[in-house]
Amino acid sequence: MNKKKLPLLKPHTVDVKKGKKYAWCSCGLSSKQPYCDGSHSETKFKPVVFTVKVSETVYLCGCKHTKKSPFCDGSHKLL
């Protein structure tokens, strides 16, 4: 499978912790959205790994079409 699934047409509002590493799902197949659960293994997609510098609330892309991954850029409004 090489087409992204659209699990959510809005961002995921999540609290992230300073110093922690996260893996955002870019394929849309994970059952642990917005994070990767390894379901991408049969696709061309890879998770986007990022480390947080400040504990805060962030908006992670739910539609998987953002151009600023892993963060929402409003692309879901165009789908």
| For ligand FES, the closer CB: 45 or 58 | 45
Q: Which of 65, 67, 68 is nearest to 10 (CA)?
A: 65
Size of interface with ligand FES, in residues (CB under 6 A): 12
| For ligand FES, the closer CB: 39 or 73 | 39
Is 66 near ligand FES (CB under 6 A)? no
Instruction: Choose the binding region for ligand FES from 13-21, 32-40, 50-58, 68-76 (rule: CB under 6 A).
Output: 32-40
